């Protein structure tokens, strides 16, 4: 869920993103899902039933600014 990447020393080439992916160990495959509405990295996440709860994380590169956003998702596999 989410992440950050790019070339740190090149302005405009770094980004925080909101991708969502899931791994199926029985098939050894990854599946992409709709991105989180709020891109961020270094999130906390937990599953309860069919829901994935994603809280916090950094809204900008490097973690100097933390988000208070809490979003919940269901994944259709």
pTM to 2 decimal places: 0.73
**How far is it, in rounded angstroms, from Cα 72 to Cα 42?**
16
Range of the structural domain that residue 70 is part of: 3-74
How many domains is the chain partitioned into structurally?
Answer: 1
Ordered per-residue pLDDT tens for the chain, 77 residues: 898 887 666 777 778 889 988 899 999 999 998 899 999 999 999 999 989 999 999 888 877 778 889 999 987 65
What would the two tokens of residue 8 be?
A: 């740190």
Q: Which residues contact 1 (CB under 8 A, 6 or more apart)?
A: 18, 19, 20, 21, 36, 43, 45, 52, 54
32-45: pLDDT as tens digits:
988 999 999 999 99
Structural Rg of the chain based on CA atoms = 14
């Amino acid at each position: 869920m989410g992440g950050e990447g790019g070339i740190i020393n090149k302005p405009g080439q770094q980004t925080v993103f909101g991708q969502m992916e899931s791994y199926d160990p029985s098939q050894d495959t990854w599946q992409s899902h709709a991105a989180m509405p709020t891109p961020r990295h270094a999130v906390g996440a937990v599953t309860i039933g069919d829901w994935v709860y994603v809280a916090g994380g950094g809204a900008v590169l490097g973690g100097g600014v933390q988000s208070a956003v809490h979003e919940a998702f269901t994944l259709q596999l």
